[in-house]
Structure 1
Amino acid sequence: MKLLIKNGTIVTASDIYKGDIYSENGIIKEIATNIEYTADEIIDAGGKYVVPGGVDVHTHLNLDVGFARANDDFYTGTVAAACGGTTSIVDHMGFGPKGCDLKDQVNVYHGYADKNAVIDYSFHGVVQHVDEGILQEMKTIVEEEGIPSFKIYMTYDYRVNDVEAFKVLEALKELGGITTVHPENHEIVNYFREKFINEGKVAPIYHALSRPERCESEAINRMIDLAYMAGDAPLYIVHLTNKDGLKHIKRAQRRGQKVFSETCIQYLLLDIDRYNGPNNEGLKYIMSPPLRDKRNQGALWQGIRDGSIQVVATDHCPFSFNKDKQRGKDDFTKCPNGAPGIEERIPLMFSEGVMKGRISINKFVEVCSTNPAKIFGLYPKKGAIQVGSDADIVIIDPDKEVKLSKDMLHENVDYTAYEGFELKGYPIYTIARGEIIVKDNEFVGKKGYGEFIKRVKNYY
């Protein structure tokens, strides 16, 4: 397909300029002030922002937690992503059977996504136990499967201990990969969970209180030190929620460590008071780490502005409020962890970030598209508007006003955590590899259009 976008205000992580973009067969072929080619489709983007498609590097589609499954699969989840202006994702694979090898879940997730995803995608490897076989197998996953990032957990059933984390850091450094980590102090979290349950404190607010900020920040600091001892192994902190953890990250970055950090839209806009809502509404927000005291939000926005937080993602993991989440109505520990957000991220960051003056529009592109693409080996194929890049493009109308509601969204879940947010600016076109797949909030793409991306290593 030949596509021509005319008269738009083109925004990248570093530039803003008016111009036209011509793409052919899914690739950007020319960018100029006035292009007059014949095309199959011509879009007049006058008065609109033309930005690289969003890259969400923290999603959980098809996630099976044993007693519940995330409501979005690779079809419904990527349709929602596309409608919100995201054109590629890197999904965190869930745990497989006890003792399984690394390839087991890679195969499972290819089965989930193939012929279902509507946008391009990749996976993060998942490490649920560490032995010599697993460390050796990493080489195959990185070099043959094109998956150079792996996630380890410091909590949950398949958590790794410090020595195992150290071995993963060393192995991935040698392979040119990167370790991502869910940092929480498992023993302290479990202590508080058991204490509250024994005391009859079972309401949603006790989920948040059982996972205090220092449980996260202590684990962040520990992982930073382990990465340092592993020869400055690259480290990526997922879903940062609080200013104390950010202080540890900034200190490491100042001394030159390769430490990257991600926050999520919920930690920028929602706070711990949500857990006290009536009718068990707080169950909607049970996620780990939990929502924090509002005082952290300013520090996180500042971290985005000063570059110490490089990425804004979603941790999209939706469970229905009226069914799945009700498991926790009499005991917060029984509630599946996670919340939706894959569709809301780009509109919220544009409206709450750019239009309210918290960040520049260039920073918006940087943290929602370019940086995640660079850190995880997708750039410049993704995350860029330049000749030779994939024509993954989103057109945002800065004058379009929208009141967020579940009824207008495409996520396969019965609520949005952002019900009632009034937005200024919204995506009106989503283009994936040169094809229009969303127009005016209507999905017009094709099931299975998305392709698996073999990512490169050592880009950062």
Structure 2
Amino acid sequence: MPATRIFSEYDVGGAMGTLIKNGTVMNSDGSGKADVLMEGEKIAQVGGSIDPKNHTIVDASNLLVMPGGIDVHTHLDMPFGGTVSADDYTSGTQAAAIGGTTMLIDFALQSQGHTMREAFDTWRKKSDNKACIDFSLHMAVTDLGPGDGAQGLREMEEMVAEGISSFKLFMAYPGVLMIDDGLMFRVMQKAAKLNALCCIHAENGSAIDIVVAQMLAEGKTAPHYHALSRSPKAEAEATHRSIALADMAGAAVYIVHLSNAYALDNLKFMQKRGARALAETCTQYLVLSLEDQMPGKSWDEAKFVFTPPLREKWNQEPLWNALKDGSLSVVSTDHCPFRFADQKSLGRENFARIPNGGPGVENRLQIIWHYGVNAGRLTPEKFVELCCTAPARIFGMEKQKGSIKAGLDADILLWDPNADYTISAATQRMATDYSMFEGWKVKGNAAKVFSRGELVVDNMSQPGKFLGTTGRGRFVKREANAGGLA
């Protein structure tokens, strides 16, 4: 890392702080040996040899000093399919921290016939005295209210004033969350005026529902058919359509959980033609596959029922390449956990009733480091960009989080690239009775995790434990910056 980026300071003021020494500072734009001083909740100084006098010393020898991970796609305490996701704001945020993530963005879901304000208040109550790391919210819009929708459009202004600078639009789940193209276009027009970002669940829900009904009528009820009912081309079509509508409206758009090469092709096509379009993929689509996890042989495959579903393995390498070349900007999890024994079982006789979602917030960084960095697909700097810096920049938090830089929140991850770790439900903090990566051996894991200057995880001495106070997490107000796109 150039010296001008390594050596910086921020109002040190002579106060006693916590000094991280002997580590390698790893940012998205470079790396280098440096010390990092935390004063209170902020990074006060990053320098070559900071005087240790009066400071608590943390020895980071052989460790990488990174910004804490940011997961911009989780679903905590979320009602779905007659049940509620297994992780609430306590277990979910603690699991995130144990895995090296210090900030997440969850979704407030507006119910049809209700207001965004009601959804916002409901989700804030879910987090009260429970969140253990900092968090924010996207607002899922399903209804603009009666008549001309003026009420809903005014509410969008209110949400941006509250620090919610991104709006989720569902093109799937008819009758529950899905909106039509007209409503989507109106939201996009308003978002453009507000400089807000539209996050899109891109699947052609109307076509998919027809296929689901046809499969069930033919007696195809096993979990495997969930994946087969949701064609990658249905995702590709919706990806193209949503970006085209956003381009017409002058809005910036962010495709969530992009899972396959067909959808990726449509994203790239529109990006090359000037559309302001960004996208994420998720951990599971990079390492799990239809052939390996859902070949159609057992009920256990319900563990991997989420939407979009797993795809054929050949899709994985195009996704990795898109992360490397920048076509895809972020790796998130879509963490939406349900227990296998008593929640996934709701769909034992009908795959359409299996709660959609899987647990992943605790293992994201381990998986991406091992199969990305260790495998030579990503540089360590690109890892930081995808998992920390780009999420902060795209979602209006780069003045607070996402880099090891003086003046930002002291959300710091000490990463041990040589740590061997075996993923298992028996040792995870996530509140599910299974892991999607059960028994996988990875190299690279969080050693120590600081959230706003406080040591909240020490996997070197107390592995798998959250050391902070329950409820210490704060709601982060985000700037409306249209995804950081000009």
Q: TM-score range by the shorter chain?
A: over 0.9
Q: Equivalent of 1:73, from 88, 111, 123?
A: 88
**What letter matches 1:155 in structure 2?**
A
* 390 and 330 in structure 1: CA distance in 2 versus 1, 3 angstrom threshold: same
Residues 1:358 and 2:377 are matched in the alignment: yes
- The equivalent residue for 1:139 is 157
* 51 and 257 in structure 1: CA distance in 2 versus 1, 3 angstrom threshold: same
Normalised to the residue count of structure 2, the TM-score between the two structures is 0.92
Deviation at 1:276, TM superposition (A): 3.0
Residues 1:453 and 2:472 are matched in the alignment: no
Deviation at 1:186, TM superposition (A): 1.2
For each residue in 1:211-270, what CA deviation from the matched residue of structure 2 results, as whole angstroms up to 9, or x when unmatched?
A: 010010000000011011112x10000000011111111122222221010000000000
Residues 1:211 and 2:217 are matched in the alignment: no
- The equivalent residue for 1:261 is 279
Deviation at 1:39, TM superposition (A): 5.0
| 1:218 alignment partner, SS class | helix
Residues 1:286 and 2:301 are matched in the alignment: no
Residues 1:22 and 2:37 are matched in the alignment: yes
Aligned partners of 2:364 and 2:448: how far apart in 1?
Answer: 16
**For structure 1, which segment, 389-398 or 270-279, has the greater mean C-alpha deviation from structure 2 after superposition?**
270-279
Residues 1:199 and 2:202 are matched in the alignment: no
Deviation at 1:93, TM superposition (A): 1.9
Aligned partners of 1:337 and 1:181: how far apart in 2?
Answer: 17
Deviation at 1:92, TM superposition (A): 1.4
Aligned partners of 2:317 and 2:390: how far apart in 1?
Answer: 21
**What letter matches 1:457 in structure 2?**
A
- The equivalent residue for 1:184 is 203
Is the 8 Å Cα contact of residues 184 and 216 (structure 1) preserved in structure 2? yes
Aligned partners of 2:305 and 2:47: how far apart in 1?
Answer: 48
- The equivalent residue for 2:67 is 52
- The equivalent residue for 1:124 is 138
| 1:292 alignment partner, SS class | coil
Residues 1:330 and 2:353 are matched in the alignment: no
- The equivalent residue for 2:253 is 235
**What letter matches 1:69 in structure 2?**
V
**What letter matches 2:307 in structure 1?**
S
- The equivalent residue for 2:394 is 375
| 1:93 alignment partner, SS class | strand
Is the 8 Å Cα contact of residues 222 and 296 (structure 2) preserved in structure 1? no
**What letter matches 1:317 in structure 2?**
C
Deviation at 1:407, TM superposition (A): 1.5
- The equivalent residue for 2:46 is 31
**What letter matches 1:25 in structure 2?**
G
**For structure 1, which segment, 254-263 or 297-306, has the greater mean C-alpha deviation from structure 2 after superposition?**
254-263
| 1:282 alignment partner, SS class | helix
Aligned partners of 2:431 and 2:225: how far apart in 1?
Answer: 28
Residues 1:270 and 2:271 are matched in the alignment: no
| 2:109 alignment partner, SS class | coil
For each residue in 1:120-143, what CA deviation from the matched residue of structure 2 results, as whole angstroms up to 9, or x when unmatched?
A: 000001101132210121111102
Is the 8 Å Cα contact of residues 223 and 296 (structure 2) preserved in structure 1? no
Aligned partners of 2:33 and 2:370: how far apart in 1?
Answer: 21
- The equivalent residue for 2:5 is none
| 2:92 alignment partner, SS class | helix
Aligned partners of 1:396 and 1:407: how far apart in 2?
Answer: 23
For each residue in 1:42-82, what CA deviation from the matched residue of structure 2 results, as whole angstroms up to 9, or x when unmatched?
A: 21111111111000000000101251100100011000000
| 2:80 alignment partner, SS class | coil
Deviation at 1:38, TM superposition (A): 3.5
**For structure 1, which segment, 116-125 or 244-253, has the greater mean C-alpha deviation from structure 2 after superposition?**
244-253
- The equivalent residue for 1:154 is 171
Is the 8 Å Cα contact of residues 105 and 138 (structure 2) preserved in structure 1? yes
* 39 and 116 in structure 1: CA distance in 2 versus 1, 3 angstrom threshold: farther
Deviation at 1:278, TM superposition (A): 5.1
**For structure 1, which segment, 432-441 or 246-255, has the greater mean C-alpha deviation from structure 2 after superposition?**
246-255
| 2:188 alignment partner, SS class | helix
**What letter matches 2:231 in structure 1?**
P
Deviation at 1:37, TM superposition (A): 2.9
For each residue in 1:82-125, what CA deviation from the matched residue of structure 2 results, as whole angstroms up to 9, or x when unmatched?
A: 000000001012343x3111111110111111211110000001
Is the 8 Å Cα contact of residues 226 and 305 (structure 2) preserved in structure 1? yes
Aligned partners of 1:255 and 1:187: how far apart in 2?
Answer: 28
Is the 8 Å Cα contact of residues 109 and 141 (structure 2) preserved in structure 1? no
Residues 1:104 and 2:118 are matched in the alignment: yes
Is the 8 Å Cα contact of residues 410 and 453 (structure 2) preserved in structure 1? yes
Q: CA RMSD, aligned part only?
A: 1.2
Aligned partners of 2:113 and 2:367: how far apart in 1?
Answer: 40
Is the 8 Å Cα contact of residues 370 and 443 (structure 2) preserved in structure 1? yes
Aligned partners of 1:281 and 1:94: how far apart in 2?
Answer: 29
Aligned partners of 1:37 and 1:70: how far apart in 2?
Answer: 46
- The equivalent residue for 2:329 is 310
Is the 8 Å Cα contact of residues 65 and 414 (structure 2) preserved in structure 1? yes
Is the 8 Å Cα contact of residues 110 and 143 (structure 2) preserved in structure 1? no
Quick one: percent identity of the two aligned structures?
A: 40
Aligned partners of 2:160 and 2:260: how far apart in 1?
Answer: 32
Residues 1:320 and 2:320 are matched in the alignment: no
Aligned partners of 1:117 and 1:447: how far apart in 2?
Answer: 7
* 93 and 122 in structure 1: CA distance in 2 versus 1, 3 angstrom threshold: same
Aligned partners of 1:101 and 1:239: how far apart in 2?
Answer: 26
| 2:89 alignment partner, SS class | coil
Q: How many residues align?
A: 457
**For structure 1, which segment, 86-95 or 23-32, has the greater mean C-alpha deviation from structure 2 after superposition?**
86-95
Normalised to the residue count of structure 1, the TM-score between the two structures is 0.97
Deviation at 1:457, TM superposition (A): 1.1
| 2:172 alignment partner, SS class | coil
| 1:391 alignment partner, SS class | coil
Aligned partners of 1:66 and 1:247: how far apart in 2?
Answer: 32
Is the 8 Å Cα contact of residues 60 and 94 (structure 1) preserved in structure 2? no
**For structure 1, which segment, 28-37 or 55-64, has the greater mean C-alpha deviation from structure 2 after superposition?**
28-37
Aligned partners of 1:351 and 1:437: how far apart in 2?
Answer: 24
Is the 8 Å Cα contact of residues 330 and 390 (structure 2) preserved in structure 1? yes
Deviation at 1:327, TM superposition (A): 1.4
Is the 8 Å Cα contact of residues 124 and 147 (structure 1) preserved in structure 2? yes
Unaligned runs of 5+ in 1: none
- The equivalent residue for 1:384 is 403
Aligned partners of 1:294 and 1:95: how far apart in 2?
Answer: 35
